[in-house]
Amino acid sequence: MKRIRKFCASLLIGVLIGLVFVPGVLAAGSVSVGLSPSKGTVRAGDTFTISVTLSGVAAAGGVITADMAVRYDTTRFSFVSGAVGGGKPASDFSSSDAGGKVSLIYSNGSSDNYFKSNATLAVLTFKVKANAPTGTANFSSEIGQNGAGTFANGKLESIGSSFSGTSVNVAAAVSGDNNLQTLNLANATLSPKFSAGTTKYTVKVENSVSKLQILALAVDKDAKVAINSPTLKEGGVTNATVVVTAANGSQKTYTLTVTREAKADEPTTESDKSKENALAELSVENSTLTPLFNAETLAYVAQLPLGTQKAVVTAKPKDDKAEVKISGTEELNPGVNLVVITVTAEDGTVKEYKITLNVGEVSVTGVPPATSQTFTMPPTVVDLPSELPETPSGGISWWWLILVFIVGIGAGVLLEHYVLPTLDKNRHF
């Protein structure tokens, strides 16, 4: 009997001890805490995050308070900041760093706005130190400073918790060298001479060079070189560029300002010369051409007032390369005058337009004028008596016969020396 009593007492003590040292047995449930990095591999200078995740939240009745910590390697990383996750109020969360241990405390200030399903409790930001050792770096999570009972559900009941960690790979630092080692041109010359620290250059090329042949090599074998060499503008300026992108993403641009000579004028061959020798316009000032001007009509007549000494003739060629010469417009004589317009094409072929100018006389259409001559008849002096004798009744006065004789001689001279030669020349024109 004593043995039975002793066994029951021992069993009761064991249960009580279990209740004290294993509080999770009486807890309403438990949650699992995990860590998740934003990058699997990091390098010196990188910034990355570790997310603190909660799972099993709904089964545990939610999470209204949490007290935990995350440990990290201080030789590789520095803690930057911590923020509450799940869209919860920032005022419900705090984080503090103490020598590689980041303490996290979450306490819901509103009885209804707490974690009711799996979520991210917090997001912690870290930065890789400049001289961080390479290799695997571990992050771990653990219960907070208050020990057991630091997680509670929506009913303010203590809930159990389990913790896991994660790791990242710290790789060697990436080079930031974005300099060129060489920059050469196969068909031109740089000015000034290349230097890695000089990013602006000028280049002058002949018209025959339509594109630069650029040869560029980066200092760092892991850097990328991009060359942009567009077609060069004739007689203008074009920019060519060389962009060096370092392994860490930093860039440097080398710019080449290229001036290309204009294309020289090519010699014109005889076969290329224009044959156009027609007029586009022809007119006489203060007169009208008969017939009206047409490029294919070569003979015209125009009337000018008596006393006109000079004609103003306008002639414009169809081809600006044709040459126009006008003759016969000055020192006009009364009567018929001839104006000749000579049009010489670029290839040397000639076309003539003629205008018959009638100064003070009515023109005969289509009849070219004769060369004007001036005949001066010597003056004839006749002495007549101051008193003419009376004419005998029924006869002709002797002085009248003398007068008729003199006029006849003058008319004969005019006919022989002026009228007949003029008519003869007009007949043979």
Give the number of other Cβ atoms within 10 Å of residue 43's Cβ: 17
Q: Please say if the pLDDT value at position 95 is more than 60.
A: yes
Model pTM greater than 0.95? no
Euclidean distance between CA atoms 361 and 381, whole angstroms: 32
Distance of CA 269 to the CA centre of its chain: 38
C-beta separation of 247 from 220 below 8 A: yes
Residue 47, strand partner residues: 127
Answer yes or no: same fold for 26-170 and 274-359.
yes
Give the number of other Cβ atoms within 10 Å of residue 277's Cβ: 22
Confidence of residue 390 (pLDDT cuts 50, 70, 90): low
Per-position b or e across 302-332, b if 16+ CB within 10 A of its CB: bbbeeebeebebebebeeeebebebebbeeb
Taking only the tens place, the pLDDT of each residue in 43-59 is 999 999 999 999 999 99
If residue 351 lies in a helix (H) or strand (E), which one and from where to where? strand 350-359
In CATH, 180-260 is 1.10.490: no
Is it true that the peptide bond before 192 is cis, omega within 30 degrees of 0? yes
Per-residue pLDDT, 372: 44
C-beta separation of 196 from 241 below 8 A: no
C-beta separation of 152 from 31 below 8 A: no
Task: Provide the mean pLDDT of the chain.
Answer: 83
CATH topology for the 274-359 domain? Immunoglobulin-like (2.60.40)
Question: How much of the chain exceeds pLDDT 90, in percent?
Answer: 68
Taking the domains of the chain in order of start, what are their residue ranges?
26-170, 180-260, 274-359
Distance of CA 74 to the CA centre of its chain: 53
C-beta separation of 424 from 376 below 8 A: no
In CATH, 26-170 is 3.30.565.10: no
**Which parts of 129-206 are beta strand (E)?**
135-143, 160-163, 166-170, 180-185, 200-205
C-beta separation of 69 from 52 below 8 A: no
Name the least confident of 57-61, 169-173, 348-352, 398-402: 398-402
Q: Please say if the pLDDT value at position 5 is more than 50.
A: no
Confidence of residue 22 (pLDDT cuts 50, 70, 90): very low
